[in-house]
Amino acid sequence: MTTILSPASRDAASGGFRTDPSRGDRNARVSSEWFSRPDDERYLSLSDLHAVTLARADRASARTVESRAIRVEASRDNAERLTLAVPGQVELVAPTHWSFGQMCSLVAAPSSYLRNLPAPLAAINLQHGLLSHRAELVKTLETEDGRVELRAVTGPDYGRIWGHELVGAVRKIASDGTGDTNWKVPGVIDWATMTHNPYVDITKETTTLYASDRDVFLFLVDDTGATRIVLDVRALEVCRMLGVEAHLVVSQAGEMARAYETDLTREDLHALADYVHPVKDVGASIASGSFRTMGMLIAPARCARWRRWRPGSRGRSSPALLTW
């Protein structure tokens, strides 16, 4: 005899499901990343993203120098090009927009003002700040990709987690992020039918895997079947085909999942079981510790709850579940 609780298990479902976006939370950060990222910062898989971020790390080098030892250079022949001579680096280094702002903050200079000056004037002001400001050790991050760029200027004790390290850690859970595990790039919603389809091709338009030269942003979800109530329904159908008597208990959340994610009415779902028990009926037959069963399907069930439900465990337990 099988006792089944809904909503469903964690295995993958086979198709789309209806959804109600108004019941969820809007994540403005995800929307902003999707809207603002250019194509060259969008990736279609975690393996692609890992390869790019690893290559960037291999081309990077960090060194600790004294701030007064940095020399700022600019030429009248190129009023927009400013470079830095960093101790230990043979070639002149070109600051990025980000690192230039960090250099300006180091000497308390207004970066927005210096950016609007011709390079020679900006160099004179920045060099004056480096020489007159209190000398201190700074850590530079330089990368070589056609030219040597200064990507960051930080304190000497600054710790850095490389992008490829982050992506590598995520890959241990999500593999490629394309559907080979439950954790994947989200699917899309058909707003006409309010149906969410988790199984769509990942493109530059739909991806949520982003990386630039100084950051990585990942957004993965397990959307391959919502609460998986479709599998609960299938389990009841299999019990019917095998001639196994099935007792059904549906929680309030299960009723909501049925309404939002299936076309079944409450009566349709109950008709699939041999017996239906109210969720709060402590006098139900299955609530008895002597009730004999072949097994029990509890879905979904967290590990912590499963430990509490084991026979002989301490803490709050449901008598119905101790018949397992």
Q: Do 251 and 304 fall within a single domain?
A: yes
Asked which of 154, 186, 210 is the last residue of a domain, the reply is 154
Of 154 and 309, the one with more pLDDT: 154
Domain assignment of residue 96, given as a range: 60-154
Q: Do 32 and 65 fall within a single domain?
A: no
Report yes or no on 51 lying in a domain.
no
- Give the mean model confidence (pLDDT) for residues 67-85: 85
Report pLDDT for 220: 92
If one counts the domains in the chain, the total is 3
Report yes or no on 170 lying in a domain.
no
Which of 175-179, 242-246, 265-269 shows the lowest mean pLDDT across its residues?
Answer: 242-246
pTM for the complete prediction? 0.61
Q: Do 238 and 206 fall within a single domain?
A: no
Percent of the chain with pLDDT over 70: 84
User: Is the separation of the CB atoms in 46 and 171 below 8 Å?
Assistant: yes
185 pLDDT above the threshold of 90: yes
Q: Which two tokens stand for residue 10?
A: 């964690």
- Euclidean distance between CA atoms 255 and 105, whole angstroms: 57
120 pLDDT above the threshold of 80: yes
Partners of 141 in beta bridges: 62, 152
Q: Do 290 and 234 fall within a single domain?
A: yes
User: Is the separation of the CB atoms in 216 and 163 below 8 Å?
Assistant: yes
* Mean pLDDT for all residues in the chain: 81
Report yes or no on 160 lying in a domain.
no
User: Is the separation of the CB atoms in 244 and 3 below 8 Å?
Assistant: no
Q: Do 39 and 181 fall within a single domain?
A: yes
Report yes or no on 278 lying in a domain.
yes
Report yes or no on 305 lying in a domain.
yes
Q: Do 88 and 135 fall within a single domain?
A: yes
Per residue in 133-183, pLDDT (tens digit) is 888 889 998 888 778 889 899 988 888 889 999 999 999 988 999 988 878
Beta strands in the chain (DSSP E): 2-6, 17-18, 42-43, 60-66, 71-75, 78-85, 94-95, 137-144, 148-154, 188-190, 195-197, 209-211, 216-218, 246-250, 275-277, 295-298
Main-chain dihedrals φ then ψ at residue 268, nearest 5 degrees: -60, -45
Per residue in 192-217, pLDDT (tens digit) is 888 888 888 999 999 999 998 878 99
Q: Do 248 and 298 fall within a single domain?
A: yes
| CA proximity to 287, closest of 255, 249, 313 | 249
Report yes or no on 53 lying in a domain.
no
Q: Which two tokens stand for residue 264?
A: 């079944």
- Which CATH number covers residue 260? 3.40.50.1950
Q: Do 77 and 149 fall within a single domain?
A: yes
Report yes or no on 139 lying in a domain.
yes
The sign of the dihedral angle between the CA atoms of 17, 22, 24, 30 is: positive
The sign of the dihedral angle between the CA atoms of 172, 175, 181, 182 is: positive
Q: What is the DSSP letter of 67?
A: G
306 pLDDT above the threshold of 70: no
Report yes or no on 167 lying in a domain.
no
